[in-house]
Every structure is written in structure tokens, then in C-alpha cells.
Chain A
Amino acid sequence: MITEPRIIPTPYVTKPGAIRTSTGKTIRTDEMIINMGPQHPSTHGVLRLEIVVDGEIIVDVIPHIGYLHRCFEKHAEHMTNYQQVIPYCDRMDYVASMNNDWGFALAVERMLKIEVPPRVEYLRVIMAELQRIASHLVAVGTFGIDMGAFTPFLWTFRDREKILDLFEMTCGARLLYNYIWIGGLSHDVPPGFVEKAKEFCSYFGPKLKEFNDVLTYNEIFVRRTANVGVLPPDVAVNFACSGPMLRGSGVNFDLRRDDPYGVYDKFEWEVQVGKGEFGKVGDVWDRFIVKVREMEQSVKIIEQAVAALPEGNVQAAIPKRIRPDAGSEAYVRTESPRGELGFYVVSDGSASPFRVKARGPAFVNLSVLPEISRGCMIADLVAIVGSADIVLGEVDR
């Protein structure tokens, strides 16, 4: 269903131009161009938005990206080993490293047509879901700051610390893990990990309720976010949005269910979609609540995965130096916290990939920003950018 890109009508749209004073004179008014970023507190990194404003009302937004470009794809082609690409994947979406590692590892595994041991599959799911919670906690917490509420941010970071502690326990690192390797994991989880993970699951539920009480259902917060930045489902699909951005618009699509990888098909959980509880479907509040509810679902998945965790090896038997057949290729898409993360890997038979292409969800989600923010206010633009949950490390790669 391809439709013309459309401008969402909002209550504030005015015509820039002449203003008539009480004496009947006309004053020419002009639009003002403001640079929002790259050092603006709420552009979530180094995004630069060139905004054209009429007073406080946004006439146009032009995103400028590339301030954090690190040549991920070119780097990947120049490694001496496939395994060496994994640390670079870590640095793409640095708040969801585990999911990135998994995406790339899965692509190479498909190319090599190798099966990983069941314990690896379960541990990967546990890690990815813990990472999803951690990533969504950053997203909803910083969104709180964008709305002027500072306290929920520190609460979410307090809870995120618990997850980072679990990761630190597992692989020593707190942000960039290099844990999910091609054919398995760098090493097994330490003793006591399972208990701690269970403890986190029981700890997290009440904390999330507290968070909802103070921020999600706060009257001011709801008024600030409902009916703002409405992204209709057809526009979301046309712009290839994915993840919470797409589901917030009411499109029931999640790669973990619709194109299952790992062992996601073995767990009971539900895909969360925005229902427009306080405003139109696809508004900022919907995108926000989808993330909050996905955290609950992730806890469910972790509980099941931890309970069913099998014993066994954590590394499949693969050659030390991976050399896929010349001409073999694979495209794998996984559901990262931000949406559809795709890796396309082509081999020329050597020990390093011939070509790696990453399809970043945040990059694609960002492209819809000008479309949904015309006609809103500066404060709403901040809300929309916050709800799109972009990570510039992944947008710029």
C-alpha cells in the first residue's frame, strides 16, 4: 500500500507571513532557522536537526547525520578474521550490544550452515532480552528527561545497573560485551548467574509499576505525549519503520514471532502494540507504552528461558579460522530493541568478509521524523525524537 507522503494536520498550524497589528499595519514576520544539536541536550547524542520555526511552531525539520560515522562496514571488510568483526558490532548500537553481536553472529552462522548447541540458544535469548530491558530502560528514562521529569531517569538507571551487573558477572564488560561469538558464546555463564537473573525478574516488576505511577500515567505526561507526533500505520509501513516505532502505530509485527530465530518460538509471550489509549493510535504515548510493556514481556521470556536452560557446551565445533565458500552470502534480520536489525554478509572465500551491510533500525526510524513533526511545537519535536529512540552510534555506524 503506497500512498503519498502526507503532512499530519495538527491544531497549531498557522500560515507564516503577514501579521496585522491593531492599527491596521502589516508586519512581515519571518521564519527562524535554529540548529538543534549536535550538542543539544535532547538529541540523544550527536544528531543535528536544522529546524525552521515560526515562533515555536515547527515548519520544517532537516536531520543531519554522520557526526559519529566510524566506517563499520569498511572496517568489517578489512578484518583478518570473521570473529574480529564482533567488537565493531558492539559499538554500533552501544546501548544494545548483545543484540548486535547476535545479529552478525547469526548471519555468519547461516552462511556457514552451522547449528549452535541448545544451551547457547537459550543463553543468547536470556542475554538479548536482558539487553532489551536495559536498552528500553535507557529509552524510557531519557524520554522522561525530555519531558522534564528527571527522577524516573535515575530510577531506570538504577534498575539498569542490575542488568549491567549480570553482564559484568558474565563477561567482565558493562557496555561492550563481545560475548556472543560466531558458533557460540565467548564462555559459559558463571555459577550463580541463573539465581541472580531470577532475582532480577522478581525485583523488576514492582519497580516498573512504580515507574508507571510516577511517569507513564502522570496527567501532565499524558497530556504532553497523547496526540503528539502521530505516525499513522500506513506511513510507518511506507517508511519501513520497525520495532516499537512500528508497533506503536498499531502494526502487529515482531520478528521474534514472525520470522523466529534462536528459540523464541518456544516461549509464551505477546507482541505489544499501541492502542491509542489516550489519543490517536501511533502517538508518542503509544510508542512509549509499547516499550514499557515490552519490558514486562521480556521478563516473561527470561523467566521461561532461565527455567528451561539446558546443560551443555557453549561453543559449536567450528574451524579456528572461518572461511566460508566463495560466493556464499546470508541476510539475517533480528529484532533489536530499536527494531529490525539486518546484516548482509558476502564471502569471497577468504578469512574476512567481502562485504558487510548493516540495516540499522534507528537510521530508518529517524527518516520519518520530518514527516511527523511538521506543524508541532519545539517541545513536541523533542518528544518525537525521544520516542523514536535513536542511538546515533547505530544511525551513523
Chain B
Amino acid sequence: MQEYLIGLVGEPLVAYVLMAVVPLVFILVYALVTLYMEMKVAAHIQDRVAYMRTGWHGVLQPFADILKLLQKEDIIPAQADRLLFTAAPFFVFVGTYVGFAAIPFSSGYVGADLNLGILYIVAVSSIVVAGLLMSGWASNNKWALLGSLRSAAQIVSYEIPSALAILVAVMIAGSLNLNEVSKFQEGGIFNWVVFGGPGPVVTKLLLTPFTLTAFFVLLTAGIAEANRTPFDLPEAESELVQGFNTEYSGMKFAMFYLAEYANMFLVSAITVCLFLGGWQSPFGSFMSGPYWGAFWLIAKGMFFVFVQVWMRWTLPRLRVDQLMHVSWKVMVPFMFVCIFAVGLILVW
């Protein structure tokens, strides 16, 4: 796609900008869709109907919501640190958005075909922590401060099990480049890393328990990193009012919201790329190709976004100490065992 764009516009710089804009457009459209989906799924879980009046079955409601947020007064508390307060939402959003660069949406479209793709994503998504800490500190609100501290602790601790789970997939695929990992899983659903990747049946059978564990750990840790229920402690409404975004309103609040939604898709996409074949079709060569690739990645990603929405409207929230317990005492030891076993099987 890169070459195609350069050929089309002539100027490489313009082509790169266009390339960079594609994920942004995707995020915006996706956020609208997910906003609608979340409300509708929640409503059906809760035995009600949600939006019904703006457009057919309320499809225009997300636009109305965004318009409302755009019109809202942008309040900065009098005692807030203005610079940090204004910068924080951008840090949070950018930290998520730049992660999209290394996601291979199809075999023909990768924003940046990095050798260290997954490492890059893990690294840049840590910028989010800085943004959250800034927002909590700058708000000059004790609830916001507690929320941001919780959030920093949570994201930092869940990065460990998620990185270890990523390592399992990387060991099997033999590459840190997400596009290469996706290519590696060619040949239908049973060649996906979650089922041990392509290889002899015995190896697959031996690997599957460990890869399945890693897959679930990555998904769970991803949900925790995206601050979604049952790990939504940083913005635990019933405890911390709104957590780190208590004092935010208007478009700054919308940025946090957008970042959360983008993060939901990012963690789903990472999980899909590493364990569920990325842009590969589940039916081998049937329905595959660059365009189908984009379809498959987005479809798989959206499925896990749906799972996150589903969990959010079903489960209660964990407590801070339980959250840490799950990360350090359950997930991390499990992942060490997985890595050791996978290494052993691969060497053997």
C-alpha cells in the first residue's frame, strides 16, 4: 500500500501522512460503531432497548453524543496545573494511537513494518501511564489522584504478564514483527498460534495447553491495561467518583473516552495477531487476500471488543489488592511455567 500511495501522490512525505491518517480514521469510525454497540449490548443484557429515537433504532445517537461533547464548556479547575491538565488527554490518546502503527491490518497494509513491532507497541503504550499520572496530579483532586495512582500501578503490573504471554507467541512464531507472526500462521484455523501454530500434530497437541493459557492471560491482562471492568478500578465510579477523569469535561473528556475505546481494539488486535492468525482467514486460502485480510482482522478484533463489552456489563469490580494478587501471584507464575514449557517443547 505504501508503494501504491507513493505512486499515486508522487511525494513520499504526503504518502506517509496519508498512511498515518488511515488508523486515525479507522479509530474514529470504530469508536462510533463501538459506542453504539456498547449501548445496545448493555441494553439487551439489562432488559431494555437503549437509543430508539435518533434515526433508525438510534443509529445517529453516537453522532449526537459527540456533537454534545464538542459543544460542552471546557472547564479547567481553578487550582489545576493548566499545562499538565491540558496535555494529559493527548498523552493518553497518543500513547494508544501510535500503537496502531505496528498493527498489520492486512498483508497489504502495515503502518510501520517494524522488526520489533510488538516490542514497540508494548513500549509506547506505557506513555499512557504518564498521561494518566499527569491527569490525576494536575486535576488537584484527591479522587483523581487516587484513581491515577491506581491506574499506574495497574498498568505497570499487568504489563508483566501480558509481555510474558506475548513472549510465548513470539517464541513459537520466531519473530517480533506482527506481520511476520501473522504470515507464520498461514493455512487455516488449526495453524493459529493458539493451537500451537503450523507444525507436526504432536508438537501442536503438546503446545496447545500452554498457548491457550497464554492467550487467555494476554486477553485478561489486555482488558486490565485498557481499564475495563472487572479491572476498571482507576475510574471506579462507585468508589472514586470518576477516577482520573473526574475533573475533565468536553473534548478533553472525549479524548480519554476515545483512548479507552481505541485501547480496547488495540489489545484485541494484538491478541488476534499473536494468537488468532491476524489477518489470516480461518479457512486457509478460502476468503483470503489483502482485502479479506482487513476484514478478518477487524472482525476478529471486534469480536473481542464485544467480549469486553459483555464482561463489563456482567461482572462486578475487583479490589485493588485482589487486582495485584491476580497479576503477580496468579498470572506471572503461570506465564513463567508456560514460557519454560513452550521453550522445552520447541527445543525438543
By the criterion CB–CB under 8 Å, are B314 and A214 in contact? yes
Task: Give complex CA distance A34, B237 in Å.
Answer: 16
* Residue-wise interface mask of A (133-156) relative to B, using a CB-CB cutoff of 8 A (1 in contact, 0 not): 000000000001111111100110
Closest-CB distance, A382 to chain B (whole angstroms): 5
By the criterion CB–CB under 8 Å, are B313 and A151 in contact? yes
Closest-CB distance, A317 to chain B (whole angstroms): 47
By the criterion CB–CB under 8 Å, are A379 and B236 in contact? yes
Cβ of B318: which chain A residues have Cβ within 8 Å of it?
Answer: 220, 223-224
Choose one: A34, A144, A214, A377; the contact of B320 (CB below 8 Å): A377
Closest-CB distance, B2 to chain A (whole angstroms): 44
Cβ of B183: which chain A residues have Cβ within 8 Å of it?
Answer: none
By the criterion CB–CB under 8 Å, are B317 and A148 in contact? yes
Number of interface residues of A (CB under 8 A): 30
> Which of the listed residues B45, B316, B321 has the most CB atoms from chain A within 10 Å of its own CB?
B316
Is A358 an interface residue when CB atoms closer than 8 A count as contact? no
Is B319 an interface residue when CB atoms closer than 8 A count as contact? yes
Closest-CB distance, B90 to chain A (whole angstroms): 28
User: Which residues B235-277 have CB closer than 8 A to chain A?
Assistant: 236-241
By the criterion CB–CB under 8 Å, are B315 and A149 in contact? yes
User: Which residues B308-338 have CB closer than 8 A to chain A?
Assistant: 313-322
Known: A34-B143, A215-B316. A148 touches B45 (CB 8 A): no
By the criterion CB–CB under 8 Å, are A149 and B316 in contact? yes
Of chain B, the residue at the smallest CB distance from A381 is: B239
By the criterion CB–CB under 8 Å, are A42 and B238 in contact? yes
Cβ of A158: which chain B residues have Cβ within 8 Å of it?
Answer: 47
Task: Give complex CA distance A27, B317 in Å.
Answer: 33
By the criterion CB–CB under 8 Å, are B316 and A221 in contact? yes
Cβ of B238: which chain A residues have Cβ within 8 Å of it?
Answer: 41-42, 145-148, 382
Closest-CB distance, A388 to chain B (whole angstroms): 15
Of chain A, the residue at the smallest CB distance from B232 is: A148
Is B48 an interface residue when CB atoms closer than 8 A count as contact? yes
* Residue-wise interface mask of B (16-59) relative to A, using a CB-CB cutoff of 8 A (1 in contact, 0 not): 00000000000000000000000000100111100000000000
Cβ of B45: which chain A residues have Cβ within 8 Å of it?
Answer: 151
Of chain B, the residue at the smallest CB distance from A33 is: B142
By the criterion CB–CB under 8 Å, are B316 and A148 in contact? yes
Is B229 an interface residue when CB atoms closer than 8 A count as contact? yes
By the criterion CB–CB under 8 Å, are A155 and B47 in contact? yes
User: Which residues A378-394 have CB closer than 8 A to chain B?
Assistant: 378-380, 382
By the criterion CB–CB under 8 Å, are A34 and B239 in contact? no
Is B89 an interface residue when CB atoms closer than 8 A count as contact? no
Closest-CB distance, A95 to chain B (whole angstroms): 18
Is B146 an interface residue when CB atoms closer than 8 A count as contact? yes
Cβ of A147: which chain B residues have Cβ within 8 Å of it?
Answer: 238, 316-317
Cβ of A221: which chain B residues have Cβ within 8 Å of it?
Answer: 316
Write 28 A-B pairs (CB below 8 A) sorted by A numbering.
A32-B142, A34-B143, A40-B241, A41-B237, A41-B238, A146-B238, A147-B317, A148-B229, A148-B230, A148-B237, A148-B238, A148-B315, A148-B317, A150-B42, A150-B313, A151-B42, A151-B313, A218-B315, A220-B318, A223-B318, A223-B319, A224-B317, A224-B319, A378-B146, A379-B233, A379-B236, A379-B320, A382-B239
Sorted from nearest, which 5 A-B pairs have the closest CB atoms?
A148-B317, A42-B238, A149-B316, A154-B46, A147-B316
